[in-house]
Amino acid sequence: MDSSSHLREDVVDWSTLRRGQQVAFTHRSDGPVAGAVEMRTDDASVLWIQLDNGGGRRLIHCDDGYRLKRAG
């Protein structure tokens, strides 16, 4: 997925994200980065994102200033 294509609304409630769902996220230190939700904690405060194009995985925490958008 091209991280600039077909982005939807900001995701405020990370508990609505499901495994395999495509997202893009930005942070003040980098971005946008795109990938698929691989896993989330039960309280939805932490997500593992499998990055597109063989970029590996990224662990992100909701209190660290990440901004997520659904991709569609």
Instruction: Locate the domains of the chain by residue range.
Output: 7-71
The per-residue pLDDT for 71 is: 85
Q: Which residue has the higher pLDDT, 72 or 11?
A: 11
- CATH T-level fold of 7-71: SH3 type barrels. (2.30.30)
* pTM for the predicted model, two decimal places: 0.82
CB 11 within 8 A of CB 67: no
pLDDT digits (tens, 9 = 90+) for 11-32: 999 999 999 999 999 998 877 8
pLDDT band at 6 (very low <50, low <70, confident <90, very high): low
Instruction: Report the distance separating Cα 51 and Cα 44, nearest Å.
Output: 19
